[in-house]
Amino acid sequence: MNSPGTQPVSTWIGEFVLLAALWGASFLFMRLGAAEFGPLPMVGLRVGLATVFLWPIMMRQGHLPALRAHWRPVMLAGILNSAIPFALFAWAVMHIQTGLTSILNATVPLFGALVAWVWLGDRINRLRWVGLALGFVGVALLAWRAPAGTGFKTDHAHWAIAACLLASGFYGLSASFTRRYLTGIPPLATAAGSQLGATLGMALPTVLLWPAKMPGPVAWAAIAAIAVLCTGIAYILYFRLIAHAGPSRALAVTFITPVFAVFYGTLFLGEVVTPWMIGCALVIVCGTMLSTGLIRARQARATPAERA
């Protein structure tokens, strides 16, 4: 049985996998774009171009009245869910491997569960507390032996890990914020409005830190891809998933995102995936599944024969 306010898995699983593939690619594009633009101008262009992409689509769909009615929380969501975490991750990928940043991004549901417990009063039973502890143990083990990418400053690796965890915390916060204040707003209006809010928030840093040398075509292509594919289209999918599958399942997309991100990093950047990274990632994912109640939900739906 589906929980209240959610739809059958078959109606949203395709969008779930597509979103994971798009967000997995975002770490690669962040590295390519930030290398020449710098982290903050890259983020400013990312959300600005995403706004340009999304706005006419939203207008054609007739969702402007919904955005006008809720513009304050929607634009604040853009700061919480885009501007701040995008900037933190963009800085982090300059100092550690993109695959590592994506694994740390898998902690988003852990933070989401904690925020929902504190803010929304969601119940966390003993099994979910065990999952939270297990997930953060996985993070600690990963940080203990964090592999810096070739040519990167290893003395910044732990600060980069901290930036990734802080960004994941903002993603977790924004999921509860969306559930609390944006429920019922069309996903396209939320996506377009939030990117406009992020654009306004990043405008001044983008101008002040604009690179003295004009970046090359690869950096511009990376910005265009991350803006249209990994931000514009991806955020439409993300807010649709929150509406159709619920915030916990929407955040669970971070389980699959590292698989795509590690593949892209290995294929295009020559990054090395160590057994330690894989082991820690499995610990984090197992802890996250316990903390979000997904494992218990699967057991509850199983037949007696399947549970035997």
pLDDT (tens digit per residue) in 65-78: 999 999 999 999 99
Q: Residue 294: CB partners within 8 Å, gap ≥ 6?
A: 248, 249, 252
Q: How many CB atoms are closer than 10 A to CB 127?
A: 12
According to the model, what pLDDT value does residue 72 have? 96
- Positions of the chain with pLDDT lower than 70, given as ranges: 1-7, 146-155, 247-248, 251, 292-308
Predicted TM-score of the model (pTM): 0.85
Report the 10 Å Cβ neighbour count for 14: 10
The predicted pLDDT at position 277 comes to: 87
Determine phi and psi for 50, rounding to 5 degrees. -65, -40
CA 27 – CA 260 distance, rounded (Å)? 10
Q: What is the pLDDT of residue 199?
A: 97
pLDDT computed for residue 214 by the predictor: 93
Q: What is the largest CA-CA distance in the chain?
A: 66
Q: Output the pLDDT for position 294.
A: 64
Residue 151, pLDDT score: 45
Report the pLDDT value the prediction gives residue 149, as an integer from 0 to 100.
46
The pLDDT value given to residue 8: 72
Rounded distance between C-alpha atoms, residue 17 and residue 126, angstroms: 30
Tell me what pLDDT residue 295 has.
64
Structural contact between residues 34 and 218, judged by C-beta atoms closer than 8 angstroms: no
